[in-house]
Amino acid sequence: PYHRERYAIGRQLEKLPTLESLEPFENLSVAVEDNTLAETVMLSADNGRYRNKIKLFLTAEEAIDALKSGAVAATVAQQGELEAGLGEDSRFAIELPPQSVLQMRQWALGLAVKAENDDLAKALQGAMNELLADGTVKNIMQRYGVKHRQP
């Protein structure tokens, strides 16, 4: 593993200066990528209370574009996708969503090989360890606007 990913929420600060609960989504639209945990959680949150304000998109990139264009007040997506998509734009904030299921869900990203390829797995792990130790992974992620999170 070389990185830890999780869900986050990107929001327009002008429309949504703070977000302590999901209640603002009774009146403001939120974008999510279709067929994701974020969609499932948002559609069922508080007994479906925000269902009518959820806008579904085929990709996280499209959901983020809707946020940037002002079509929605917020987007729930993987934090790395939000960071890369929104960059350092001061009109937006990225933070953990005020929804415990999405806050708890985190996973490691890494390389995978078939179980019988022990030598390849060891070689890749050694190379990845070196890239982590010398800062290469962190630098690559920073180039794309993503903050590196240790697995």
Q: Say which residue the tokens 């070689």 belong to.
A: 123
Structure tokens belonging to residue 24: 């603002």
Nearest to 81 by CA among 97, 94, 66, 100: 94
* Stated pTM of the model: 0.83
Cα 11 to Cα 24, 112, 139: the distances in Å are 11, 34, 26
pLDDT in tens, 62-118: 999 999 999 999 999 999 999 999 998 999 999 998 877 776 778 788 888 998 999
pLDDT in tens, 48-66: 999 999 999 999 999 999 9
How much of the chain exceeds pLDDT 90, in percent?
A: 64
Which pLDDT does position 77 carry in this prediction?
A: 95
